[in-house]
């Protein structure tokens, strides 16, 4: 067994990095990933895993399904391309990608702080008062 480091740009491996990069590279796919993340973070999870682990697991499965259905080409029957693509996709750490998006979710405290600026007229984030000639 080799002790070779297979991490790539801070990700588990090249395949995981490449999928995360392609998701984040396009505004539409990045927004869809954030929507999925919010959806799964708000959903109650029932399983042996708890809390964030279960959310990341379920979100990772959802991201994999979405990527396979929407972002990968349909290669049809058995072929060299299908085998190679399948091998690469099997190396992607979907849990790690899910954790990446969950880490970007604002905490409850951050969301509350963000609400302070919802109505600028009634908050500290409102417009600057006009100077007076005193």
The pLDDT of residue 2 is 61
Helix (H) or strand (E) holding 127: none
The answer to whether residues 66 and 109 touch, using CB atoms and an 8 Å cutoff, is no
Q: Tell if the pTM clears 0.85, that is, is over it.
A: no
pLDDT tens for 36-57 read 999 988 876 555 556 678 889 9
Residue-wise pLDDT tens digits, 61-115: 999 999 999 988 877 778 898 899 999 999 999 999 999 999 988 766 666 676 5
């Amino acid at each position: 067994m080799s002790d070779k480091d297979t991490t790539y740009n801070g990700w588990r491996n090249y395949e995981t990095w490449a999928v995360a990069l392609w998701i984040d590279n396009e505004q539409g796919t990045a927004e869809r990933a954030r929507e999925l993340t919010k959806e799964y973070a708000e959903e109650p999870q029932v399983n042996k895993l708890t809390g964030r682990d279960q959310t990341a697991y379920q979100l990772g499965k959802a991201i994999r399904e979405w990527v396979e259905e929407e972002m990968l080409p349909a290669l049809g029957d058995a072929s060299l391309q299908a085998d190679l693509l399948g091998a690469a996709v099997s190396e992607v750490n979907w849990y790690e990608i899910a954790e990446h998006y969950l880490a970007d979710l604002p905490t409850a405290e951050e969301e509350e702080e963000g609400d302070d600026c919802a109505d600028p007229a009634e908050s500290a984030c409102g417009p600057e008062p006009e100077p007076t000639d005193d």
